[in-house]
Amino acid sequence: MTYPQQWSDQLRDGLTEMNLALSEGQQQQLLAFLALLNKWNKAYNLTAVRDERVMVSRQLLDSLSILPWIAAEHLLDVGAGGGLPGIPLAIVFPNKRFTLLDSNGKKTRFLNQCILELGLNNVEVIHGRAEDCQPAQPFTQVSSRAFTALENLVTWCGPLLASDGQFLAMKGQYPDEEAAALPAGWQVESSHSLKVPGADGERHLLIVTRGEQFR
């Protein structure tokens, strides 16, 4: 899989700035994934980011910015789209399991191709709507990135989350109105400003949980 040399440099420098130590093999897997995403994006419209100069920052480093909060042994990524953040997280955590859920058939075909080409045996893909998903057991963490408003996230995906589980909602600017519109029983337990090397604008991670009396 070929990719621009600048990607390798940007990834190495970004990881250093984020104090993340990844093996050479993991870095190569991340770059191979990005090359697949770039290639398939031309036909499948997987992501709005088309400028190769910002792909490492906007897609890889952005996904990896939530690494400190990944605690679940089996994480669900809803609205997985082009595999962000699910695929990069699965590359970094080969001993954890990741389920990627998306209702768009083109996107899930791309995700399955990534699993095949990258040799990811810790990832499964589900093609379907969150409301129709019936996992064997609820997830302790559910991630989302550019998926939907918080109100929709907890309404559609609440049944997929363990009673004491966490939604890891990746946002740009802090979504005051979305946080205020959360249904009764849900709360923003904490929010974290994310530092993404090379990225303009604000990035936030919101950890959304059920209130104590609703667990």
3-55 pLDDT, tens digit per residue, is 899 999 999 999 999 999 999 999 999 999 999 998 888 777 777 777 787 78
Please count the structural domains in the chain: 1
Q: Name the band, by pLDDT with cuts 50, 70 and 90, for residue 214.
A: confident
Q: Which of 162, 213, 159, 156 is nearest to 187 (CA)?
A: 213
Instruction: Write out pLDDT tens, residues 136-194.
Output: 999 999 999 988 999 999 999 999 999 999 999 999 999 999 999 999 999 999 999 99
Q: What is the pLDDT of residue 178?
A: 97
Q: Which residues pair with 209 in a beta bridge?
A: 187
Q: What is the pLDDT of residue 130?
A: 94
Q: Which domain holds residue 75?
A: 5-214
Question: For residue 183, what is the domain's CATH number?
Answer: 3.40.50.150
Q: What is the pLDDT of residue 71?
A: 98
Q: What is the pLDDT of residue 1?
A: 72
Instruction: Write out pLDDT tens, residues 155-168.
Output: 999 999 999 999 99
Q: What is the pLDDT of residue 136?
A: 92
Decide if pLDDT at 64 tops 80.
yes
Please count the residues of the chain.
215
Give the C-alpha distances (Å, rounded to integers) separating 7 from 44, 49, 192. 22, 15, 27
Q: What is the pLDDT of residue 52?
A: 80
Q: Name the band, by pLDDT with cuts 50, 70 and 90, for residue 215.
A: confident
What is the pTM for the complete model shown? 0.95
Q: What is the pLDDT of residue 25?
A: 97
Instruction: Write out pLDDT tens, residues 68-112.
Output: 999 999 999 999 999 999 999 999 999 999 999 999 999 999 999
CA separation for the pair 180, 175 (Å, rounded): 9
The pLDDT of 121-150, averaged and rounded, is: 95
Beta carbons within 8 Å of 106's beta carbon, 6+ residues apart: 44, 45, 46
